[in-house]
């Protein structure tokens, strides 16, 4: 990945805070974090990565010595930034950020590693050793490489300050949502226990294999977890057909299938991997009941986007990832009660993002009330 170099060298004013990208001053934290959000969305469309450089001064800057160090750092950074790069406070008074925009491979000569080396060498060569040692550097490239084989969160929270700000603003709502999840999952597991027993017996009587189907799914922020369902397929089946269809669906190349009621759906129907009892479980959504255990564990919510399998996420466009970043996955959601498999994948993602933006406990209640009707009608379920 190479970045275009600009031959122009623009100096930064030491302390004035910028109000527009044209001003080569320094944005305040609120404005700079908003610019990070906008640059992420621009990068999603252009597919050109950007890199965020953070310079942590270690403490707030009321002291004269820190002020002189900051002034020198900002002056030196002007030697390594272009007019299109953006400088601002990531955290007011202690962490300065620089966004190096559009560093995708476009025939230039500067890759992220080259920028890192250039910035580090320039700072080291122009600052006193004491000043250089006071500054802690970190570099963050968007989009990130998500490694689902690792147990920790693959998404970098530094690149999503807007999401942490939104979560802080919704702290009371999030507490209410978690209480609803705990209460709802406990009540469901208690009152549905007889159905659990009946379904388990039917699965064991109809085919060999375990009662529960355990699968690695991707949760919020890209965190993997073990997803539970009642087994509806034969054991040791090949997932290649489903993987191929999902990849075509995400790419917008999948053909609609004809469901049992004659409706056109974006879903793999007549799947030979599904047992006879499994077809009934899927049609009635009874196979989803064990996910109340995932909800009780905190891996899922009662309402939210459906959690994808890793090979689905690998086929995502960059903007599709936002459905995993902005909300915890759920058993039901806006997609399930607003079209389910009858809508395209892109439209499903848009519904998930709309839910994340407008979410409230009252919206969750309305979706939960609408869910039984969608289940009974079997809209899009296969």
φ/ψ (deg, to 5) at 52: -105, 120
295-341, pLDDT tens digit by residue? 999 999 999 999 999 999 999 999 999 999 999 999 999 988 886 66
Token couple for 321: 């990832």
Query: Where residue 353 falls among pLDDT bands split at 50, 70, 90?
Result: very high
CA 174 to chain centre: 18
Given 143, 160, 194, which residue is the final one in a domain? 143
Look at residue 9 and tell me whether its pLDDT is greater than 50.
no
Are residues 35 and 133 part of one domain? yes
- Is the separation of the CB atoms in 95 and 31 below 8 Å? no
Averaged pLDDT for residues 256-269 = 53
Are residues 125 and 38 part of one domain? yes
Q: Return the pLDDT at 252.
A: 79
Signed CA dihedral, 129, 132, 134, 138: sign only? negative
Q: Return the pLDDT at 264.
A: 45
Are residues 201 and 128 part of one domain? no
Given 108, 143, 178, which residue is the final one in a domain? 143
How would DSSP label each residue in 58-116?
SS-S-SHHHHHHHHHHHHHHTTT--TT-EEEEEETTTEEEEEE---S-SS-SB-HHHHH
- Cis status, amide bond into 143, omega within 30 of 0: yes
Are residues 354 and 207 part of one domain? yes
Q: Which residue has the higher pLDDT, 143 or 147?
A: 143
Are residues 206 and 345 part of one domain? yes
**Total count of domains within the chain:** 2
Three-state secondary-structure class, residue 209: coil
Give the CATH number for residue 101. 3.30.70.270
Beta-sheet pairing, 95-100 with 86-91 = antiparallel
Predicted structure pTM score: 0.81
Query: Where residue 20 falls among pLDDT bands split at 50, 70, 90?
Result: very low
Are residues 252 and 132 part of one domain? no
- Is the separation of the CB atoms in 32 and 159 below 8 Å? no
Are residues 236 and 341 part of one domain? yes
Are residues 104 and 245 part of one domain? no
Three-state secondary-structure class, residue 129: helix
* Domain interval for residue 231: 170-377
């Amino acid at each position: 990945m190479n970045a275009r170099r600009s031959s122009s060298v623009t100096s930064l004013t030491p302390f004035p805070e910028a109000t527009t990208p044209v001003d080569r001053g320094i944005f305040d934290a609120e404005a700079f974090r908003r610019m990070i959000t906008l640059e992420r969305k621009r990068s999603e469309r252009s597919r050109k990565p950007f890199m965020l450089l953070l310079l942590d001064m270690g403490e707030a800057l009321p002291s004269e010595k820190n002020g002189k160090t900051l002034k020198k750092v900002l002056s030196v950074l002007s030697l390594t930034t272009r007019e299109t790069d953006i400088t601002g406070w990531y955290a007011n008074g202690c962490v300065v950020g620089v966004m190096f925009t559009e560093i995708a491979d476009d025939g230039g000569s500067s890759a992220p590693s080259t920028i890192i080396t250039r910035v580090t060498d320039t700072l080291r060569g122009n600052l006193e050793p004491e000043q250089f040692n006071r500054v802690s550097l970190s570099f963050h490239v968007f989009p990130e490489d998500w490694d689902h084989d690792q147990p920790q969160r693959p998404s970098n929270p530094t690149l999503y300050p807007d999401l942490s700000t939104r979560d802080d603003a919704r702290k009371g709502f999030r507490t209410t949502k978690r209480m609803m999840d705990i209460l709802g999952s406990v009540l469901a597991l208690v009152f549905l226990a007889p159905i659990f027993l009946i379904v388990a017996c039917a699965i064991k009587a109809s085919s060999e294999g375990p009662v529960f189907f355990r699968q690695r799914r991707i949760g919020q922020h890209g965190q993997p977890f073990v997803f539970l369902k009642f087994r509806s397929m034969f054991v040791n089946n090949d997932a290649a057909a489903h993987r191929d269809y999902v990849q075509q669906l995400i790419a917008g190349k999948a053909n609609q299938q004809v469901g049992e009621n004659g409706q056109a759906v974006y879903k793999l129907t007549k799947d030979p991997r599904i047992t006879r009892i499994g077809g009934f479980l899927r049609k009635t959504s009874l196979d989803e009941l064990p996910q109340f255990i995932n909800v009780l564990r905190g891996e899922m919510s009662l309402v939210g986007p459906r959690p994808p399998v890793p090979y689905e996420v690998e086929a995502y466009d960059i903007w599709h990832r936002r459905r995993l970043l902005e909300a915890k996955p759920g058993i039901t959601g806006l997609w399930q009660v607003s079209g389910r498999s009858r809508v395209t994948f892109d439209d499903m993602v848009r519904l998930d993002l709309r839910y994340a933006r407008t979410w409230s406990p009252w919206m969750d209640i309305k979706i939960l009330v609408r869910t039984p009707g969608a289940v009974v009608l079997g809209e899009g379920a296969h």
